[in-house]
Structure 1
Amino acid sequence: MCYQLHQKNRFSLFSTDEPRIGFILGTGPSLTQQQIEAIAPYRKFGANLTYRLGVDVALGCNWQFWDTYYSDAVKHGGMLWTTRKESAEKYEKLNYIEERWEPGLSVDQNYVCAHHGSGPQVLNLAYHYGVRVFCLLGWDMRYPGKVTDRRYNGLRHYFGEYPKHLQHWPKTGDNGEFTGLIKEMETIRPKDYGIKIINCTEGSALKCFPMMSLSRFLSEYQNDLEWYTG
């Protein structure tokens, strides 16, 4: 089974003296090219199509996603992950990690907490890699311009709409917010893990973590991030 070939040292990424700061990319439409360029030198983790943005680690939890995009994803480099064993057995460069339905974050490197989505799963995966300061970008956690649960006047994803077989239409709140996923994220209490999670997504519906602009985050962590730029 191919996924077994990737178990040894599978969370090796950071150098010994490297700052444990990770930029965790979602696919919300608030993400901008300017932001992507600003974080280009640093460690990046992302969900689904963010593999196109030069992330070090990308995770997709949906087997249909990998059937559609695997051949493209391997061209972009980066480490690829899934919580679907059948996909990891099918695709040689796809790493597998188990998902379990538990609150919070898993501190056991054998699994991540499921939380109904690739975003929270890749955040947990980044924790396993050693990230201790997390900067969230593209975590809109809402679809703009809600008319009905299947109709929105705004762009739903940074990369545009998925093919029909990959489109997901969750029930959302009055303003298009992901009420179910937000409740899942609220079970993650950073102090329990000795970490910081900062949401730098403008207009995000996710309010359970401190929020600030990306420019302020880069300023506050400038001394640490100079490790990458000298």
Structure 2
Amino acid sequence: MIFAVLATGPSMCQSFADQVLGRARVIAVSDSYRLAPWADALASTDFSWWRQHPEAARFRGRKFSGMVDYQNVEGVEKLAGESATNSGLLGVKVAVLMGATTVLLCGFDLHSPGEHFFGRHGGSLRSTTAQRMEAFKRQFERYQPRGVEIINCTPGSALRVYPTASLNACLAEPALHGS
């Protein structure tokens, strides 16, 4: 089963969300749910993000966090053992939990600390530092789920642990990816 995980990197855009609609199951990461309000699930590790975006509690799909204080947000499930995972990787793990055999990564730039498709975080949210960005890359390097193909469909991504391909190519040949 093909899943697309829509992260919040600078390359994320409405056209990525539109391309996967009806062609893959979708996990939205943090603010990307605004581009894909119809997604199957929403994942955000950061408790502060959930508190700053109370409207996300009305998201109709499943909602996941990795933080211990997730229970203060109505309807959010905690993914066991995920208290230190970045939100993008949490989204990938949610896709695997929900039965993914292929995961397509969109918006996983990982080269512009603190930058997102919507600009920089405001309010109480801290921007990712260059050091944290490197730690995120190491988290992805350690995550190699058995029986799941992960393909990075983010143009120009600094995340090099998974093979890359265009989103169009991956969606055009679903039989090649366990659909």
Taking the aligned partners of 2:157 and 2:130, their CA distance within structure 1 comes to 17
Taking the aligned partners of 1:68 and 1:115, their CA distance within structure 2 comes to 20
Taking the aligned partners of 1:21 and 1:202, their CA distance within structure 2 comes to 19
TM-superposed CA distance for 1:219, in Å, is 1.4
Identify the residue that residue 146 of structure 1 maps to in structure 2: none
TM-superposed CA distance for 1:87, in Å, is 2.9
Identify the residue that residue 167 of structure 2 maps to in structure 1: 214
| Structure 2 portions without partners, runs of 5+ | none
Residues matched between the structures, number: 176
Say yes or no: does 1:62 pair with 2:41.
no
Taking the aligned partners of 1:132 and 1:222, their CA distance within structure 2 comes to 12
Alignment of 1:17-166 (within 5 A): 20-41=1-22, 42-52=24-34, 53-54=36-37, 55-70=39-54, 72-88=55-71, 90-99=72-81, 112=82, 114=83, 116-143=85-112, 156-166=115-125
TM-superposed CA distance for 1:222, in Å, is 6.2
Amino acid at match of 1:60: S
Find the partner of 2:134 among 162, 176, 179.
179
Structure having greater relative contact order (Cα 8 Å, sep ≥ 6): 2
| Partners of 2:149 and 2:177 within 8 A in 1 | no
Identity %: 24
| Partners of 1:25 and 1:47 within 8 A in 2 | yes
TM-superposed CA distance for 1:224, in Å, is 7.8
| Partners of 1:120 and 1:185 within 8 A in 2 | yes
TM-superposed CA distance for 1:86, in Å, is 2.6
Normalising by structure 2, we get a TM-score of: 0.86
Find the partner of 1:167 among 120, 123, 126.
126
TM-superposed CA distance for 1:188, in Å, is 2.0
Taking the aligned partners of 2:150 and 2:176, their CA distance within structure 1 comes to 18
| Partners of 1:137 and 1:199 within 8 A in 2 | yes
Cα 1:83–1:224 change in 2 (3 A) is: closer
TM-superposed CA distance for 1:115, in Å, is 5.2
| Structure 1 portions without partners, runs of 5+ | 1-19, 100-111, 144-148, 151-155
Identify the residue that residue 151 of structure 2 maps to in structure 1: 198
Normalising by structure 1, we get a TM-score of: 0.69
Q: CA RMSD in A?
A: 2.4
Q: Which has the larger radius of gyration?
A: 1
Find the partner of 1:188 among 134, 143, 165.
143
- The SS at the match of 1:166 is coil
TM-superposed CA distance for 1:56, in Å, is 1.1
Taking the aligned partners of 1:115 and 1:67, their CA distance within structure 2 comes to 18
